[in-house]
Structures are given as C-alpha cells and as structure tokens.
C-alpha cells in the first residue's frame, strides 16, 4: 500500500477503439444520479488503498441490482469498453484502479443479504455486503463468517472473493476460497454463470475456487454463497512480549511444532507497537521489541487443556511478560491494537508502503533478520506486522513522499523484500493480490510458460481483456494476448460476443 499523495497516472495502450455511442448507451441504462461523469464525482474513484497510483475513468456506474450489472457488462462487451468492478476500494495493491478509457462499476449498493439459513449454515449475499455484516446477521443463530481481514469493518465480500482475502484467523480457518460454496457471476463476455451449490458435496471442476482470487479479470460476482461456522464456545487470548523479533518468531515455531492449532498467531514489532499505542492507546508490555498474540478457540473443555500446554510453551520461549486476556473486553483491546496497526503507522510517517510477501514458516526468523538488515542498509524504517502462523509478512516501509527520491527508495526496498520471499520459496502475495503494484514481479516468480498459461485461462473468460485490464500481468496496458478479428473461442462456439 502506498499512502503517498504523489500522483502516477496509469497509461493505457493497444486498446480497440471505443464506439462513440457507447457512453450515451450505457448512461441510458441507469438513472442520471447513478451515472457519474463530473470531475468532482469521479475524484473519489481515481484510486483505491494504493493511493500513489491514480487514474480518472470516463464514468462511474452505480447499479442497484444484478440485472443492471449484467446489462452494463453486456454493453461494455458489445462496445469493447473496459470496466473495473469496485467495492469499498480497500485494495492495497491497486486492484481496483480504474482505466482512463473505461468505466468503474461501483457495487456498494448491491448490499443485501439475500438469504441466511442457520440450518444449512449458509448466507447468500450480494457483492457489496460488508464483511462484518455477515457475522452480525449470523450472530443470533450462534454462527459467524470466519475470514477476518483487518479492513473487515469496511471491505466487501465481492472484493474478498476477488482477492481471496484472509485475515488474522486464516491459520485455522483458511482463506475466502475455503468458505465460498457458490457463485453467480456475469463474465466479461456478458454470460451469466452459476457455480457450486449450498453444499461442499459436489463433483466436477471447482469453478468457485478458480473464480475466487481472480482479481476482477474474469467478470463480476453477483451473488456469493458463504459457509457459516458455529461461533467458538470459548476463547483464550494471550499477549506475550519478547526482547527480540527472533524470539517471537521462535515462539511461533514452538507453538506450531507442539501440535496446537491456534485460531490466530500474530506478531507486531516495536515500531508497530509504538503506532498502536499512539493511535488507540493499546497497552503492551514495556521494553519489548516484539509481541506475539496467540488465540485459542473452541469447546470449553478443549481450551481448558490447550491453555495449559500453551502456557508451558510460551514460558519456555523466554518472554519478558505474558498477559492472558481475563475477559472479553481485554481480548477486544488486544485485537484493537493489532487490527488498527496499518492505519496507526500513519502517526509515525506521512507515507508508507504495505508489502504482502510470504515465506516458509520455518524461515520466519531468518526473513525478519534480513528485513532488518535491508532496513538499516537503506536507511529506511520498517514496521513489521504479520500473520506469523502462515508466514504472511506485512512489512510497512516508512517514508516521506515530500522528499525528492524518497518514494523510489522505499519501492526499491519493497522490491528487495519481495525478491527475498521468492528466493526463500515463498510468494509475492499472501492475500493482497498482485494488482498493479506487484505485476512486474510475476515473471520472477513464474516462468514464461506458466504466465502464458495464466493468460490463456484469463482469455477463456475475457477474450478482449475488458475486465480490470492492466492488472496482475507484466506490462503497462499491454494485452494478455494480441487478438485480431474473431477470437478463436468464438469460432469454436465456446463464447459469443453478446
């Protein structure tokens, strides 16, 4: 995430000509107050959470129903007009950055929970439903929706599906893909598809699994069927402070090696702790370079046994202090400091980049040491907040965008960290996606043949590269494949133009 106020305007090239009649025809599909074209109206949609990249779209459409979304996409396909679907705009990789010669389809008004069935433990929701609203609706039935990204109070389910979001509790419960049972979507060709069901018992290809994490390159989800889980009967949350990051990392390894499966394992370093104290007055053990948050959850009898094991493991790891939450309020206070960490760092620096690399858990301590070395060598402060249980790093690289050359230096450090993740056998993203920020690193992680395969999969859903163009694949505005005339899949009858 770049929170700099600097402005980079994305370019678009090699685009098929847009019909002069396209915009009036699209505008006719919606009431005038839901078709935005004035600069003051478009300004809010120029960027997402990665604010250093900005592009002004031709217009913003604000549909209120699935039928309106379908009509917009079909006309975009007919007129070869690019479109970008957008929810709350919390993407940290530029995943919902508009394109200059296209429109934005804003989905926030598709925010209904269509159906909630406590017996089947499912919720069918529209893409604009906010993550936490699902759990709020399910709470009276003793259920909840498990994926909990830090932005869960504002991010939407449609965006969570597009980027396969995780969260602090993904160690135990997995990512969004593990909780999506069914999807109704309109593909970039205008075709409406329905995949999956209300059950995990199904045969054939896992289309829902393929669609989840597609970063908006296939089309737009219209309804998503989510799995709900029983709310844990009991929680046991412990905050442990350590003199060094390496000690905290070793404690994570010890917890996992013991066979315990916590709901969450999170680490924050000294800079992140400083920011959380300043922002929400979070109370952490003094004199620590890192804190580890461990949360056990489950049946009361199981947690009673597991908390004794956890106590012994953490005591043996040499903490400065261990602080179990004594009640629900103390548990929420611990998590409030962690959940606000990204935004809180804004109190320490006017600008910062949030990276999202992954390393094998066994190399977590080594990765943290190397990040510290890179930070010192570059003369740039780095705060570390991460999902320690699955090795998902979130280094926050602090800089002042007003200083000449500060942003390129910060980006260079971010690139070094990503290359370290690749070298260690990890990934350039755990949950934030590739977007525009990391697309040039894709070729360092995958071979040319692998990228070609990914491009061909994308082309099967969007042969004209109209859905969220310019994202994920290397090259500014370059089409995934050069298509001239009738697309091969159209010849084969697999797709149709409209």
Pairing of strands 229-230, 143-144: antiparallel
Model confidence at 42: pLDDT above 50 = yes
Query: What's the average model confidence in pLDDT over 446-467?
Result: 95
Asked if 2 and 33 count as a contact pair (C-beta separation under 8 A), the reply is no
Structure confidence at residue 279 (pLDDT): 77
Q: At what angle do helices 245-257 and 364-378 cross, to 10 degrees?
A: 160
326-378 residue pLDDT tens: 998 899 888 888 878 777 788 888 888 888 999 998 888 889 889 999 999 99
pLDDT digits (tens, 9 = 90+) for 464-477: 999 999 999 986 44
CB 218 within 8 A of CB 191: no
Q: What is the pLDDT of residue 19?
A: 56
Percent of the chain residues topping a pLDDT of 90: 68
Q: Give CA–CA dist 259/36, Å, rounded.
A: 54
Q: How far apart are CA 428 and CA 421, in angstroms?
A: 7
DSSP annotation of 382 reads: E
- Give the Cα separation of 256 and 239 in Å (integer): 17
Q: Which residue, among 404, 393, 293, has the nearest Cα to 353 in the 3D structure?
A: 393
Q: What is the per-residue pLDDT for 18?
A: 59
The more confident residue out of 9 and 110 is: 110
State yes or no: pLDDT of 163 exceeds 90: yes
pLDDT mean across residues, the chain: 88
Q: What tokens were used for 150?
A: 């830090």
Please say whether the dihedral angle defined by the alpha carbons of residues 151, 152, 157 and 161, taken in this order, is positive or negative. positive
Q: What is the pLDDT of residue 84?
A: 98
Q: In the predicted model, what is the mean pLDDT of residues 95-112?
A: 96
Task: Assess whether pLDDT exceeds 70 at residue 483.
Answer: no
C-alpha span between 347 and 431 (Å, rounded): 25
CA distances from 322 to 130, 235, 248, 258, 311 (A): 35, 16, 12, 19, 9
Region of poorest pLDDT, from 173-177, 216-220, 352-356: 352-356
Q: Is the pLDDT of residue 93 over 80?
A: yes
- Asked if residue 24 has pLDDT above 60, the reply is yes
Decide if pLDDT at 379 tops 90. Answer: yes
Is residue 438 within 8 A of residue 474, CB to CB? The reply is: no
């Amino acid at each position: 995430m770049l929170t700099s106020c600097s402005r980079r305007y994305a370019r678009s090239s090699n685009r098929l000509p847009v019909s002069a009649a396209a915009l009036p025809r699209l505008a006719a599909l919606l009431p005038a107050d839901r078709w935005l074209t004035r600069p003051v109206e478009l300004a809010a949609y120029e960027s997402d959470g990665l604010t250093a990249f900005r592009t002004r779209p031709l217009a913003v459409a604000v549909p209120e129903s699935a039928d309106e979304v379908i009509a917009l996409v079909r006309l975009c396909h007919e007129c070869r007009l690019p479109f970008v679907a957008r929810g709350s705009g919390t993407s940290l990789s530029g995943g919902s950055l508009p394109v200059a010669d296209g429109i934005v389809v804003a989905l926030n008004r598709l925010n209904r929970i269509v159906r909630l069935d406590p017996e089947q433990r499912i919720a069918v929701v529209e893409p604009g439903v906010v993550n936490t609203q699902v759990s709020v609706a399910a709470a009276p039935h003793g259920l909840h929706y498990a994926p909990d990204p830090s932005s869960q109070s504002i991010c939407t389910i449609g965006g969570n599906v597009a980027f396969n979001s995780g969260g602090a509790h993904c160690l135990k419960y997995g990512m969004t893909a593990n909780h999506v049972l069914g999807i109704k979507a309109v593909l970039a060709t205008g075709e409406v598809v329905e995949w999956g069901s209300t059950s995990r018992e199904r045969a054939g290809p896992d289309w829902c699994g393929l669609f989840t994490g597609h970063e908006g390159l296939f089309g737009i989800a219209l309804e998503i069927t989510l799995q709900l889980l029983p709310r844990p009967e009991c929680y046991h949350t412990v905050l442990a402070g350590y003199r060094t990051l390496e000690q905290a990392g070793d404690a994570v390894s010890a917890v996992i090696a013991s066979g315990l499966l916590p709901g969450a394992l999170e680490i924050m370093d000294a800079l992140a702790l400083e920011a959380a104290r300043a922002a929400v007055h979070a109370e952490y053990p003094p004199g620590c370079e890192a804190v580890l948050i461990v949360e056990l959850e489950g049946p009361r009898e199981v947690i009673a046994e597991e908390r004794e094991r956890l106590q012994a493991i953490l005591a043996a790891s040499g903490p400065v202090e261990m602080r179990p939450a004594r009640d629900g309020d103390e548990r929420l206070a611990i998590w409030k400091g962690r959940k606000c960490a990204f935004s809180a760092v804004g109190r320490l620096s006017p600008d910062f980049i949030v990276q999202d690399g992954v390393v094998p858990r066994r190399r977590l301590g080594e990765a943290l040491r190397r990040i510290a070395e890179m930070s010192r060598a570059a003369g740039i402060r780095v705060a570390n907040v991460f999902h320690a249980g699955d090795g998902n790093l979130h280094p926050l690289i602090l800089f002042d965008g007003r200083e000449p050359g500060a942003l390129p230096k910060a980006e260079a450090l971010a690139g070094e960290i990503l290359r370290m993740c690749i070298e260690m056998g990890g990934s350039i993203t755990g949950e934030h996606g590739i977007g525009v920020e990391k697309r040039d690193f894709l070729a360092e992680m995958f071979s040319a043949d692998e990228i070609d395969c990914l491009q061909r999969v994308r082309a099967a859903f969007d042969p004209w590269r109209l859905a969220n163009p310019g994202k994920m694949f290397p090259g500014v505005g370059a089409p995934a494949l050069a298509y001239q005339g009738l697309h091969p899949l159209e010849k084969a009858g697999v797709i149709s133009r409209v």
